[in-house]
Structure 1
Amino acid sequence: MNGGYDRGACSAPERGAPATPASELISRLRRVLRPEELNCACRETLDGALDRFDQLERRRESRRRLAAARDHKERIFALLAFLSELDTLTEAESDRSVFEELALLFIEIASSAEAGAAALREL
């Protein structure tokens, strides 16, 4: 009798939570550390500890991704301040390179927005 645990079974990760490198490592550890002869209480304790560690690692990774999205938001905010120069320009601007520089700001904003969106999608 194995106390309701099958050899290949492991607790399910949080629903919808992406696998992290730590989660994959924990899955491999489960296969190695859960021999059949391990008694039920010991197995349950080990499974509980691995589950808690997995949840902590997933939360840490989610915090990292959220922080990255916030960093991109701050970058966009800073770029918008530079882009406000566009309000003072007219079509008669003699230095045409300023338009190219402002165009590059738009590209940087788009790039940062895409990276921020990607970080949020990974949550």
Structure 2
Amino acid sequence: MTGGQGKRSPSEKSVPATPASELIGRLRRVLRPEELDCACRETLDGALDRFDHLERRREARRRLSSARDHKERIAALLSFLSELDSLTEAESDRSVFEEMALLFVEIARSAEAGAASLREL
């Protein structure tokens, strides 16, 4: 953990802290008084470390799922955008161009949100 909250395994150093991880750090400070015997302290530390690891994995799965959802949204929007191929500059209903522009905007928003989810991993 950071800030003297305990030790973290080397594989966890690159994993960002989650709200649950921060809570675990606070719990560790409260539940781990110095007078605990070594066996009890090791058991508590092990349990808190396992819980922290599970919470980090759960959060990583949620973020990856979010990125996949954005990918699916982009794929659906691209199917609507394929209608652009059948349009010409002589289109009488000019609002169709605004609708296509909005599809591009929505694709960009989903791409940004998907990228943000992946960066948080």
Alignment TM class, shorter chain as reference: over 0.9
Runs of 4+ deviating beyond 2 Å: none
Identity of aligned residues (%): 82
Matches within 5 A, 1:98-109: 98-109=96-107
State the shift of 1:37 in Å: 0.9
State the shift of 1:15 in Å: 1.5
Hey, what does 1:5 align to over in structure 2?
A: none
Hey, what does 1:15 align to over in structure 2?
A: 13
Extract unaligned runs of 5+ from structure 2.
none
Question: Which TM-score applies when normalising by structure 1?
Answer: 0.92
Contact 2:68 2:114 in 1 (8 A): yes
Bigger-Rg structure (1/2): 1
State the shift of 1:12 in Å: 2.0
Q: Does 1:38 align with 2:41?
A: no
Number of matched residues? Answer: 116
Matches within 5 A, 1:51-62: 51-62=49-60
Paired with 1:109 and 1:9, the residues of 2 have a C-alpha distance of: 42
SS at match of 1:67: helix
Two-structure CA RMSD over aligned residues (Å): 1.0
Q: Which amino acid aligns with 1:16?
A: S
Q: Which amino acid aligns with 2:114?
A: G
